[in-house]
Amino acid sequence: MKLATLKNGGRDGTLVVVSKDLQSAVLANNIAATMQYAMDHWDEVATPLADLYEALNSGKVDNAFAFHPADCHSPLPRAYQWADGSAYVNHVELVRKARGADMPPEFWHDPLMYQGGSDSFVPPTASIDVFNTEWGVDLEGEVAVITGDVPMGSTTEQAASHIRLLMLVNDVTLRNLIPAELAKGFGFFQSKPATAFSPVAITPDELGTHWQDSRVTLPLSVHVRNELFGQPDCGTDMVFNFADLIAHVAKTRELEAGSIVGSGTISNVDRSSGSACIVEKRMLETIETGKPVTPYLQAGDTIRIEMFDEDGHSLFGAIEQVVRVIPRP
CATH number of the domain within which 173 lies: 3.90.850.10
Distance of CA 119 to the CA centre of its chain: 16
β 128-130/319-325 pair status = parallel
148 and 204 part of one domain: yes
Same domain as 34, residue 124: no
**Domain end call among 44, 67, 90:** 67
Instruction: Give the span between the Cα atoms of 23 and 64, in whole angstroms.
Output: 10
Do 110 and 46 belong to one domain? no
| Predicted local confidence at residue 190, as pLDDT | 95
Is the same domain home to 189 and 293?
Answer: yes
Question: Within this chain, do residues 28 and 106 fall inside the same structural domain, yes or no?
Answer: no
Claim to verify: residue 42 and residue 91 sit in the same structural domain: no
pLDDT at 29: 93
Using 50 as the pLDDT threshold, list the residues of the chain that sit under it.
none
Output the pTM of the full model: 0.96
Same domain? For 80 and 47 the reply is no
Q: 40, 76 in Cβ contact below 8 A?
A: no
* Distances in whole angstroms, Cα of residue 232 to Cα of each of 140, 221, 292: 12, 7, 21
Instruction: For residue 40, count CB atoms less than 10 angstroms from its CB and return exposed for 0-12, middle for 13-18, buried for 19 or more.
Output: middle
Predicted confidence at residue 98, as pLDDT, reads 61
Mark whether 53 and 195 lie in a shared domain: no
CA 207 to chain centre: 16
The domain containing residue 197 runs over which residues? 76-325
pLDDT for the residue 108: 87
Same domain, 49 and 168: no
Q: Which residues contact 176 (CB under 8 A, 6 or more apart)?
A: 134, 135, 136, 296
- Whether 135 and 171 map to the same domain: the answer is yes
- The per-residue pLDDT for range 73-97, each reduced to its tens digit, is 999 999 999 999 999 998 888 777 7
With both helix axes pointing from N to C terminus, report the angle between 278-289 and 89-98 in degrees, rounded to the nearest 10: 50
Asked whether the beta carbons of 114 and 192 are under 8 A apart, the reply is: yes
- Per-residue pLDDT, 93: 82
Antiparallel, parallel or unpaired: β 2-6 and 14-18:
antiparallel
Looking at the structure, tell me whether residues 106 and 174 fall in a common domain: yes
Domain count within the chain: 2
Cβ-Cβ contacts under 8 Å for 104 (sequence gap 6 or more): none
Residue where a domain stops, chosen among 42, 67, 92: 67
Measure the CA–CA gap between 253 and 251, rounded to whole angstroms.
6
Q: What is the pLDDT of residue 92?
A: 81
The reply to whether 261 and 301 lie within a common domain is yes
pLDDT of residue 90: 82
Quote the longest CA-to-CA distance of the chain: 61
Q: Which of 67, 94, 112 is the last residue of a domain?
A: 67
pLDDT score for 266: 97
How many other CB atoms are there within 10 angstroms of residue 161's CB atom? 12
**Radius of gyration for the alpha carbons in the chain, expressed in angstroms and rounded:** 19
C-alpha to C-alpha distances, 265 to 7, 139, 194, 198, 222, nearest whole angstrom: 27, 9, 16, 15, 11
List, in sequence order, every residue forming a beta bridge with 150; answer none if it has no partner: 255
Q: Distance (Å, rounded) from C-alpha 328 to C-alpha 58?
A: 49
